[in-house]
């Protein structure tokens, strides 16, 4: 498959997210992560950001958020901003109404969430808030907004997974923005992912290196999950996404080349296990209801794939649709654009780590 456009991010790239806001769907961000033993001499900090000092071990994690605009129908890239931060592990846009500005949440390597407002007239981000979820030696591994299915004028809540095994819940609190509401120990090892039930904003899911998929009701005491699936995984759980159009359906990726689909009314038994050929670091359902059967997967050692599922059958089936194999390193970040023409293929951005490569393609 031909690459529409590619870009060398120089730093290892690990996350890509297209803006869902109606006025800015030609904007997407790419996050990078670099581990160094001492601060590079040419690392500069943008005016609204602060980069941290090296850790006591001499190691220093830093990265950049690259902001791109897709400039025409041929999917040409234009870099319009770059922000130097602590290393970026995950990014998510808050789904808001058209009358509100676009907001991006960034999870970094020093226990913080950065809340950035996209100013479409200036074509630049403005930092609204930095929130400490943990001490600076703890990494924020993933984050997810609660209002994916029900966009509003306000911020949604955030769930954040932390490298010390904890989850952190942040709720909006006017006029203070987001505030930490709760932090609890959820996993023995790193919880690579935490994600909301988009249909029920009191329920979150988490998965980690302890081979567990867990559910939590944030209205209840959080010392005990509402379920824990310990028996269905023989490798770490890496990715989770609730379907935005099929209420009880959850896609769960793991290191062992598998994506499992669950009906969350029966969370201990998978509906189907799909072999995607590589560790499933990210799973993304298509944003259009007309293509609700299509799942985009970042397969780490085996490129990127569009998996077509049959959600109507009693015995579910799947097939690998398009494959994109023009990255030469670990495939970590991938996302659909919010293009609304169902008669055309959707623009996709993907990025890989050690070859620090960003690509645009379609599927």
What residues contact residue 131 under an 8 Å CB cut-off, 6+ apart? 112, 113, 115, 170, 177, 178, 179, 180
pLDDT of 176: 76
- Pair 130, 107: CB distance under 8 Å: no
Q: What is the pLDDT of residues 12-54, one digit of tens each?
A: 999 999 999 999 999 999 999 999 876 554 444 443 444 444 4
pLDDT of 50: 40
* Cα gap 109→61, rounded to integer Å: 7
Residues of the chain with pLDDT under 50: 1, 41-56
DSSP string, 139-204: -EEEEEETTSSS-BSS---EEEEETTSEEEEEEE-TTS-EEEEEEEE--SS---EEEE-TT-TTEE
Q: Which of the 8 DSSP states describes residue 105?
A: E
* Cα gap 252→316, rounded to integer Å: 15
CATH code for position 147: 2.130.10.10
Given the structure tokens 């890509």, which residue do they identify?
A: 16
The answer to whether the bond into 175 is cis (omega within 30° of 0) is yes
pTM > 0.85: yes or no: yes
* Cα gap 2→67, rounded to integer Å: 23
pLDDT of 59: 82
The token pair at 285 is 């359902």
For residue 351, the enclosing domain spans 5-49+58-362
What phi and psi, each to the nearest 5 degrees, are found at residue 290?
-65, -20
pLDDT of 314: 58
* Cα gap 262→309, rounded to integer Å: 13
- Taking alpha carbons only, the member of 363, 246, 257 closest to residue 316 is 246
pLDDT of 201: 93
| The total number of structural domains that make up the chain | 1
């Amino acid at each position: 498959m031909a690459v529409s456009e590619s870009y060398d991010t120089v730093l290892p790239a690990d996350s890509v997210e297209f803006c869902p806001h109606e006025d800015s769907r030609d904007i997407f961000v790419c996050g990078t992560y670099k581990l160094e033993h001492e601060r590079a001499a040419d690392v500069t900090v943008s005016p609204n950001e602060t980069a941290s000092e090296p850790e006591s071990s001499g190691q220093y994690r830093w990265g950049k958020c690259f902001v791109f605009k897709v400039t025409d129908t041929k999917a040409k890239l234009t870099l319009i901003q770059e922000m130097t931060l602590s290393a970026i592990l995950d990014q998510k846009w808050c789904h808001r109404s058209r009358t509100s500005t676009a907001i991006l949440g960034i999870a970094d390597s020093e226990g913080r969430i950065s809340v950035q407002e996209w100013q479409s007239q200036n074509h630049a981000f403005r930092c609204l808030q930095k929130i400490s979820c943990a001490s600076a030696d703890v990494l924020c591994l993933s984050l997810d907004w609660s209002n994916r299915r029900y966009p509003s004028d306000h911020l949604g809540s955030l769930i954040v997974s932390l490298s010390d095994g904890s989850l952190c819940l942040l709720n909006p609190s006017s006029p203070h923005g987001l505030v930490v509401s709760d932090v609890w120990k959820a996993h023995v090892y790193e919880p690579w992912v935490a994600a909301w039930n988009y249909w029920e904003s009191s329920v979150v899911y988490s998965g980690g290196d302890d081979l567990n998929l867990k559910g939590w009701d944030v209205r209840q005491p959080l010392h005990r999950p509402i379920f824990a699936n310990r028996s269905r995984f023989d490798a770490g759980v890496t990715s989770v996404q609730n379907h935005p159009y099929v209420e009880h359906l959850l896609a769960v990726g793991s290191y062992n080349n598998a994506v499992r689909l669950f009906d969350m009314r029966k969370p201990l038994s998978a509906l189907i296990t799909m072999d995607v050929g590589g560790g499933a670091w990210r799973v993304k359902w298509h944003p259009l209801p007309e293509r609700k059967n299509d799942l985009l997967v970042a397969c780490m050692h085996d490129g990127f794939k569009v998996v077509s599922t049959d959600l109507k059958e009693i015995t579910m089936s799947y097939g690998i649709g398009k494959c994109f194999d023009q990255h030469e390193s670990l495939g970590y970040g991938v996302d659909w654009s919010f293009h609304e023409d169902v008669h055309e293929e959707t623009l996709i951005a993907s990025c890989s780590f050690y070859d620090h490569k960003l690509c645009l393609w379609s599927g």
